[in-house]
Amino acid sequence: MFKCAVTGEPVTGSADAVYEDGEWISFNYLMQCAEGENLEGDEPSEMQYLESQADSSTLRRYHILDDLVNVAKDYLSVTGRHLPIYGELGELYGEIKYGIKRHAMYNEGSDGKLGKEVVEIKTISPFKSTISVMVKKAGDFTKLLLVKIDEDFEFHSKLFDRTELKSGGAKFAIAKWGDEEDLNE
């Protein structure tokens, strides 16, 4: 069983914590810090410490993701239209939740690496009526991260091994989310 390096609370892995610099940090702790709570009493909070460090990229990405989601929500509520940002949100979420190290922009065939595994990331946006995606078989990925952003802008994800994908013809493979009740996995 893993534990949060700061609070000691049990974590089950990337479902409820971020793995950063060899330690697990729980999402609960990050959320409390993001809301400005000083969990260390009079001492600077872990959030304040991490924000002061140039290499605290996961925390910065978390803040950016939160800001981008809020902008997308506001834009939708004002205009009735969706921003074309969901693919980027899904990839950023993959970086934060799973520790995926993304490739340089415009790299074809995959989006990043998770350890030694090469990962393709696909996002199902809130307005998409299907719960499956097609991915090019020609890609060099070994894992597929499927990120679903629901109508409340809540994120859900599933990591597939390439061998789990169904054939979608000669050029494509298909990943299906599953049943709607599976969304909370």
Is the domain of 43 the same as that of 64?
Answer: no
Is the domain of 33 the same as that of 99?
Answer: no
At 68-99, the pLDDT tens digits run 999 999 999 999 999 999 999 999 999 989 99
Residue 92 included in any domain: yes
Looking at residue 48, its pLDDT comes to: 52
Is the domain of 46 the same as that of 117?
Answer: no
Is the domain of 80 the same as that of 162?
Answer: yes
Please state the pTM of the whole predicted model: 0.68
Q: Cα torsion for 168, 172, 173, 178, to the nearest 10°?
A: -70
CATH of the domain at 87: 3.40.1350
Can you read off the two tokens belonging to residue 23?
């330690």
Tell me which residue range forms the domain holding 6. 2-52
Using CA atoms, how far apart are residues 144 and 110, in angstroms rounded to an integer?
Answer: 9
At 105-149, the pLDDT tens digits run 877 888 999 999 999 999 999 988 888 899 999 888 999 999 999
Alpha helix positions (H), the chain:
27-34, 46-52, 57-79, 86-98
SS3 166: strand
pLDDT at 47 over 60: no
Is the domain of 94 the same as that of 15?
Answer: no
Mean pLDDT for all residues in the chain: 80
Is the domain of 37 the same as that of 72?
Answer: no
Is the domain of 76 the same as that of 38?
Answer: no
pLDDT at 39 over 70: no
Looking at the structure of the chain, the number of domains it has is: 2
- Please state, in angstroms and as integers, the Cα–Cα distance from residue 169 to each residue in 27, 141, 154, 178, following that order: 40, 18, 32, 20
Residue 185 included in any domain: no
Question: Mean pLDDT, to the nearest integer, of 18-28?
Answer: 68
| Helix H or strand E encompassing 20 | strand 17-20
pLDDT at 181 over 60: no
Q: Residue 135, Cβ neighbours under 10 Å: how many?
A: 20
pLDDT at 156 over 90: yes
Residue 184 included in any domain: no
Q: How many residues does the chain have?
A: 185
Is the domain of 160 the same as that of 127?
Answer: yes
122, exposed or middle or buried, with CB in 10 Å at 0-12, 13-18, 19+? buried
Q: Which residue has the higher pLDDT, 151 or 42?
A: 151
Is the domain of 47 the same as that of 91?
Answer: no
pLDDT band at 169 (very low <50, low <70, confident <90, very high): confident
* In the chain, % of residues over pLDDT 90: 45
Question: Mean pLDDT, to the nearest integer, of 153-180?
Answer: 88
